[in-house]
Amino acid sequence: MQKRVVFNNRLLPYALLAPQILVTAVFFFWPAGQAIYQSAFIPDPFGLKSQFVGFGNFEFLFSDPYYLASFQTTAVFSAAVTLLSMGAALWLAVMADRIIKGSGAYRTLLIWPYAVAPAIAGVLWLFMFNPNVGLVAWYLNAIGYDWNHVLNDGEAMGLVVVASAWRQISYNFLFFLAGLQAIPRSVIEAAAIDGASFWKRFWTIVFPLLSPTTFFLLVVNIVYAFFETFGVIHTITGGGPQQATTILVYKVYADGFIGQDLGSSAAQSVVLLVVVGLLTVVQFRYVERKVHY
Amino acid sequence: MAHRKTLAGLVAATILAGSTGVSYAATEIQWWHAFSGRLAELLTEQVEKFNSSQSDYVVVASHKGNYSETLNAGIAAFRAGEQPHILQVFEVGTATMMSAKGAIKPVFEVMEETGKPFDADAYLAAVKGYYTTTDGKMLSLPYNSSTPVLYVNRDALTKAGLDPDMDLSTWDKVNEAMDAVKASGSSCPLTTAWQSWVHLENLSAYHNVPFATKENGFAGLDTELSFNGPVQVKHIEAMGQWAKDGKFIYAGRRNEGGARFRAGECAFFTESSAGYAGVKAEADFAFDIRPLPYWAGTEGAPQNTIIGGASLWVMAGHKDEEYAGVAEFLNFLSSADIQASWHQNTGYLPITMAAYEQTKDAGFYKENPGTDIAILQMTGKAPTANSKGLRLGSFDQIRGIIDEELEAVWSGDKTAQAALDNAVARGNQLLRRFEQANR
């Protein structure tokens, strides 16, 4: 039986909703509308004049092989970051969940990296792997591996993926741990009495019961990989070498703020908006069906 | 520090105004720049000197990040109607600023309208040329200009059994030296900073071949890149081969190579003349500055090299009395004393002939051999249409494209011809968009 609240004053519900709607309108609908409007123009950087080009900016984008390649780069990057950060976090959470003594210290240490800003995380990793001054690069060199992510695109991609995932592991760990602790002990103990091994219990009981958390984290991590990894990429590779690490959101920045091409930048934002919208729909329609609440 | 001084200046001005009974306050001039560290200290010194030399104007200098960030800050501020009076813009942003007709006030106009004495011919032709219209009108004031030179680690040459005073004027001779250095066990015979600027832009000017059509963009927005000619391909091919042979070590797009040279790892280093201060401060080996090498047998080579660095743009939309202050300050900056000490402290070029003469008369070049190489290299011949400079829209991004394609050559993914062809094609697309935006 649902409880229904009835407002006597007709205006009150609108007044109560107003702040949220206002925030959404100002910080989402207005900028999004601006981006759509601007994507039909090629303005000069100073905003002195602008040329109406209709869908010209989109035509320019989709005839650019580097832009199309950026979709693939983004897909590879997001998938790798999400898998790595969620996989590692789940493993750590399962391990931390079993610890009886000193678990508080372990958990605190594992959560720490989340407090590091993406740009700083990027610089930390860059200092370790910089081919000129990096400590890890130096050791790699000493054992005969010529590390140079400035020229090697595979190494560059690997480095930005690890640096981006590293930070997100803490966040995922926190949620996985909470999810694990919410699973009733009685279910697991019953399975243990029936003779199920640790991994058997994990795959048949724990993992399915954890699926709401996993699904939530999947959505959050993909959005993170799409948008928030900008700082890491900017500091470590600047999108190079040969655009091997230029993901969609980085290209929006590079074209808008380095190239001063605001028309193309706006068009790319619109494309990104559509892509993320589609991705969210797909996740909720197809992946969520497999989730047990 | 600067703020406190300014405040003191304002207080002093107010007291003065009160005592004479005239309503009066010093006019404030905002200057946004991209310098940090030692360069910012020297810049602050200049500003303080100007502020204490007169009482009508107070210049306030603010650091706005690196070159790209400073330009962005200026653009954003203009859009919000909060633009500074003077904005330091790197040479790559020149075309962007020039095309923004309503946003800038050309320097020659500022000088004309305020009636301040101004002689455009006092400036070095090779420096001024970058920032003037095709009919010789100065649009922005050259501030910090440098040109690429070859830094030589003399100890590395001696170790390789070479005479450190050997002839290194051509790339063939440098190549022979690199072979000897490599054979002596060096892991880094040659490295570079700013590869596009040194090994394509300056290479083209130095060999008197066009980097882009329409006089490198000076004569129109419908310019097209043309740095995929035989001279450039030959050079990039040679560099690619050197990279493969372990003779050329690529360190990064900016001046990452500098750390390796200053640490004594590398024998040769192509870098801006403004790198002098850093090398002098850090190098614990004997070093030498030589003119940038050229390819013997190319007609007209060596022509002159072109500049990099930044100039000062005056922004539109301010009051007349403020422009009078701007004009006075720009004149102060161009004065021989200021320029000579700037040149000697930083390795940047003196922008006027008078500053050069003054430095020479003071015996600076004798005491610091090699510091005049840059200026001789730039002024040796009268600039041609190919060596006046570059004026290309979206050039910051085009440099990024060139960097990417060159990296493909260094890693052996592409041939020099294929990489340069591709860079030209990709860059031309951006030029067309820039043309469209500024129609």
pLDDT tens for residues A18-50? Answer: 999 999 999 999 999 999 999 999 988 888 888
Per-residue pLDDT of chain B (439 residues; tens, 9 = 90+): 445 445 455 444 444 444 443 445 789 999 999 998 888 999 999 999 999 999 999 999 999 998 888 999 999 999 999 999 999 999 989 998 988 889 999 999 999 998 888 888 888 888 888 898 878 889 999 999 999 999 999 999 999 999 999 999 999 999 999 999 999 999 999 999 999 999 999 999 999 999 999 999 988 899 999 999 999 999 999 999 999 999 999 988 888 889 899 999 999 999 999 988 889 888 999 999 999 999 999 988 899 999 999 999 999 999 999 999 999 999 999 999 999 999 998 889 998 989 999 999 999 999 988 889 999 998 888 889 999 899 999 898 899 899 989 999 998 999 999 999 999 999 999 999 999 888 7
ipTM of the complex: 0.74
The answer, for B435 touching chain A at a CB cutoff of 8 Å, is: no
Q: What is the pLDDT of residue A115?
A: 85
Cα(B237)–Cα(B240) distance, rounded to whole angstroms? 5
* Mutation target among A68, A234, A242 for the B interface, most CBs of B within 10 A: A242
For the domain spanning A59-290, the CATH number is 1.10.3720.10
The answer, for A155 touching chain B at a CB cutoff of 8 Å, is: no
- CB nearest to B407's CB, from A51, A241, A255: A241
The answer, for B78 touching chain A at a CB cutoff of 8 Å, is: yes
The answer, for A47 touching chain B at a CB cutoff of 8 Å, is: yes
The CA distance from A182 to the nearest CA of chain B, in Å, is 49
Count CB atoms within 10 A of the CB of residue B365. 18
Return the number of CB contacts < 8 Å for A and B.
88
* Mutation target among B75, B105, B187, B262 for the A interface, most CBs of A within 10 A: B75
The answer, for B260 touching chain A at a CB cutoff of 8 Å, is: yes
Chain B residues within 8 A of A47 when measuring between CB atoms: 78-79
Q: What is the pLDDT of residue B22?
A: 40
CA B90 to chain centre: 7
Cβ contact B77:B84 at 8 Å:
yes
Q: Find out if CATH 3.40.190.10 is the number for domain B149-305+393-437.
A: yes
Cβ-based burial of A36 (10 A; exposed 0-12, middle 13-18, buried ≥19): middle
Cβ contact B319:B327 at 8 Å:
no
The CA distance from B398 to the nearest CA of chain A, in Å, is 8
- The residue extents of the domains of chain B are 2-146+307-366, 149-305+393-437
- The residue extents of the domains of chain A are 59-290
Cα(B307)–Cα(B383) distance, rounded to whole angstroms? 12
CB contact under 8 A, A151 and B426: no
Distances (CA, A) of B17 to B10, B12, B22, B49: 10, 9, 6, 22
The CA distance from A38 to the nearest CA of chain B, in Å, is 13
The CA distance from A205 to the nearest CA of chain B, in Å, is 50
Pairing of strands B188-192, B86-90: unpaired
CB contact under 8 A, A151 and B250: yes
CB contact under 8 A, A43 and B403: no
DSSP annotation string for A77-131: HHHHHHHHHHHHHHHHHHHHHH--SSHHHHHHHHHGGGGS-HHHHHHHHHHHH-T
Cα(A177)–Cα(A93) distance, rounded to whole angstroms? 5
Chain A residues within 8 A of B403 when measuring between CB atoms: 240
The answer to whether the Cα torsion of B377, B228, B408, B429 is positive or negative is: positive
- CB nearest to A259's CB, from B79, B397, B404: B397
Cα(B434)–Cα(A259) distance, rounded to whole angstroms? 10
Cα(B188)–Cα(A176) distance, rounded to whole angstroms? 49
- CB nearest to B437's CB, from A43, A240, A257: A43
Residues 6+ apart with CB under 8 A from A264: A42, A57, A60, A61, A255, A256, B433
Per-residue pLDDT of chain A (293 residues; tens, 9 = 90+): 456 777 788 888 899 999 999 999 999 999 999 999 999 999 888 888 888 999 999 999 999 888 999 999 999 999 999 999 999 999 999 888 887 677 788 888 888 888 888 888 888 998 999 887 789 988 998 898 888 888 888 999 999 999 999 989 999 999 999 999 889 989 889 999 999 888 898 899 899 999 889 998 998 999 899 988 888 998 888 887 888 899 999 999 988 888 888 899 999 999 999 998 898 888 888 777 777 66
In terms of Cα–Cα distance, which of A49, A48, A21, A52 is closest to A38? A52
Q: Domain spanning B2-146+307-366: which CATH class is it, in words?
A: alpha beta
* Same fold: B2-146+307-366 with B149-305+393-437: yes
The answer, for B81 touching chain A at a CB cutoff of 8 Å, is: no
Q: What is the pLDDT of residue B1?
A: 42
Chain A residues within 8 A of B426 when measuring between CB atoms: 66
Q: Kindly report the pTM of this predicted structure.
A: 0.82
CB contact under 8 A, B394 and A259: yes
The CA distance from A34 to the nearest CA of chain B, in Å, is 16
Cβ contact A126:A235 at 8 Å:
yes
- CB nearest to B410's CB, from A48, A133, A151: A151
Cβ contact A241:A150 at 8 Å:
yes
Cα(B213)–Cα(B431) distance, rounded to whole angstroms? 12
Closest-CA residue of B relative to A47 is B79
Task: Provide the chain A residues 244-273 that lie in CB contact (below 8 A) with chain B.
Answer: 254-255, 257-261, 263-264
Q: What is the pLDDT of residue A293?
A: 66
The CA distance from B250 to the nearest CA of chain A, in Å, is 9
- CB nearest to B394's CB, from A238, A242, A261: A261
Closest-CA residue of B relative to A257 is B72
The answer, for B394 touching chain A at a CB cutoff of 8 Å, is: yes
- Classify B319 as helix, strand or coil: coil
